[in-house]
Amino acid sequence: MLRRYFGIGAAIIIVGGGLYGLGYRWSPSAAAFARSGGHSREFGVVRHSWGEVVLLQTPKGPRTELVQREGFLWHDTANVVFTPKKSGPIHTIGWLNDEGSQHQITVIAVVVASSAVAYVEAGPDR
């Protein structure tokens, strides 16, 4: 009987460790930070029923992470590392475009460096 419990416990530890090593976490933020490493700061989130787009400031620059729910865990399924070009009053600091079987999303993160800018439009030219 003790061997059986030991085997079940070992299997749980092995599967749990494997999932942890692959980046699966209990929360969306933890899953985003799993790939970006330590010393990152979250500065924006776009939430949907199927997942979240998390914007992070890392020591290497801005990073955009797509985190999706898989069962009861969260997993970082895509990321974009973006090197901003600072010219003009509007700076793009992150973006992500993804299409899945149940979702389609485009996120563009910008910083406006001028109070003269009232709004920002994104899309094709007319």
Please name which of 80, 54, 52, 44 lies closest in space to residue 68, comparing C-alpha atoms. 52
The residue ranges of every structural domain in the chain are 2-112
- Identify the residue whose tokens are 């029923």: 49
Alpha helices in 22-87 (DSSP H): 28-36
In the sheet that holds 41-47, the strands lie side by side as 41-47, 51-58, 61-70, 73-81
- What's the rounded Cα separation, in Å, for the pair 66 and 42? 13
What are the tens digits of pLDDT across the range 68-98?
888 888 877 777 776 766 677 777 777 777 7
61-81: b or e for each residue (b if 16 or more CB lie within 10 Å)? ebbbbbbbeeeebbbbbbbbe
Instruction: Give me the residues of the chain with pLDDT under 50, please.
Output: none
